[in-house]
Copies of this chain bind each other. A is one copy, B any other.
C-alpha cells in the first residue's frame, strides 16, 4: 500500500473495516489510539502498549511544545526515537489545549497567543507554528490547527469559528510540507446538523488523506453526539479514514463504529484506571469498594490481560487504597487491553459478517439497565 492510502476491505451497514498506510506501517481500523500526552502513555512501557494491542499513540503538541520542546525532540531523532515507539504516532494540533486555557489566551486571525499553564510564559500558535511543531516531532498523522469552541455557543459564534477553522485549514495544508506525514482536516460546527454540514463541505473541499470530527465530547449530553455522528459520519468521504476526536466510552465506540467512524482516541481508559475505575465485560468496576476486600477472583474473568491473569481484586484494591504505582500500572494495563480487545473484536466481527451480533452483544453489556446502578 502507498503512504496515505486507505483501503476499505469490508462494510457492515455503515461500519467499516479498513487499513490506513502510514510511514510507520499500516493501521487496522476501526482503531482506538492510546493517549501519550507528554511522550509517554502514563504508567506504561512501549512493550506493554504493544502487548495490549496498541497500534497508534497520540502525542500532544501543546504539552510537548512546552516541555521538553519539539526542537529538543527533533535533535534526538523525533518523537518515535525519543519515546522508543516504532509504530504510528498521531499528534493533535495544540488547539484543543490552548482553547481550554480560558482567560489565558488572545485569539486573532493569525492564531492564538496564550500563556503557559506552567509558568505564565507567553507563547503563540497558529496554523504554521502548529505544523512546524508537529513536523519537528516527526508525527505520522498531523492534525490541522482548528478553533475548538466552548459548549454551548451561539449560532453566530459557531459560524465565525467554522470559517476561521477553514481558513486555518488552508494555511495548515500550505505549511505542512513533510512528505512522510499525513494531514487530517477537522470538521467543527457544534451541535447543529446544518452547521456540521457547512463545516464538512468546507473541510472536505480540501483534498486530504483523512478527516476528523472535532468539538464533540465537550460537555454536551452524549446522546446529542450520537445522533449527530450518525448523520454526519456517512457524509464524510467514503474512501478516507474518519476520526472522532476525544471519544469515548466503550458504548460510544461501538455506536460510533456503527455510524461509520474508523478512528478514536480518549484519555478515559488510562485516566480512570489511575483513579481506580475499571472497564469489564460486566460493566464498570470501582476497585476500592469494600465488597472486593477479600475477593480472590480476577477483575474480569472474560479478560486475558496480564492483570486479570495474575492478580486478585483484593490485591488490586489494596494497591489502589495505599496509592501504589503498581496499582496504576495494573489498572492501566487492564483498561487499555479492554479497549484494544473491544476494537480487535469489532474488526473481526465486521470481517466475519457478524457486526450486528457483536454490536448488540456490546450494547447488552454496556447499556445500563433500569433499576441497576
Task: Give the nearest-CB partner of A41 in chain B.
Answer: B326
Stretch at the interface among A215-223, A306-314, A359-367: A306-314
In contact, B76 and A326 (Cβ under 8 angstroms): no
Q: With A45-B326, A72-B314, A312-B76 in contact, is A319–B82 under 8 Å at CB?
A: no
* Cross-chain contact B67 with A321 (CB below 8 angstroms): yes
Q: Are B42 and A324 in contact (CB under 8 A)?
A: yes
Contact of A315 among B43, B45, B83, B317 (CB under 8 A): B83
Which of B39, B43, B75, B311 is close to A325, meaning CB atoms less than 8 Å apart? B43
Q: Which of B43, B76, B84, B322 contacts A296 (CB 8 A)?
A: B76
A40 to chain B, nearest CB (A): 5
Contact of A311 with B84 in the complex, beta carbons under 8 Å: yes
Copies of this chain in its oligomeric complex: 2
Residues of A within 8 A of B (CB): 38-40, 42-45, 67-68, 72, 75-77, 82-84, 293-294, 296, 310-312, 314-315, 317-319, 321-322, 324-326, 328-329
Asked whether A72 and B294 contact (CB < 8 A) given A67-B322, A328-B325, the answer is: yes
The 3 closest A-B pairs by CB, nearest first: A43-B325, A40-B326, A68-B318
Interface class of chain A by DSSP = loop
Please tell me if the beta carbons of B326 and A68 are within 8 angstroms of each other in the complex. no
Residues of B within 8 A of A325 (CB): 42-43, 325, 328-329
- Residue in chain B with minimal CB distance to A330: B45
Q: Give chain B residues whose Cβ lies under 8 Å from the Cβ of A324.
A: 38, 40, 42
Task: Determine the residue in chain B with the shortest Cβ distance to A274.
Answer: B325
Residue of B nearest to A326 (CB): B40
Q: Besides A42-B326, A68-B317, A82-B314, 9 other CB < 8 A contacts?
A: A38-B318, A40-B319, A45-B326, A67-B322, A72-B293, A75-B294, A76-B296, A76-B315, A83-B315
Shortest A264–chain B CB gap in Å is: 23
Chain B residue contacts of A76, Cβ below 8 A: 294, 296, 312, 314-315
User: Which of B67, B77, B310, B314 contacts A84 (CB under 8 A)?
Assistant: B310
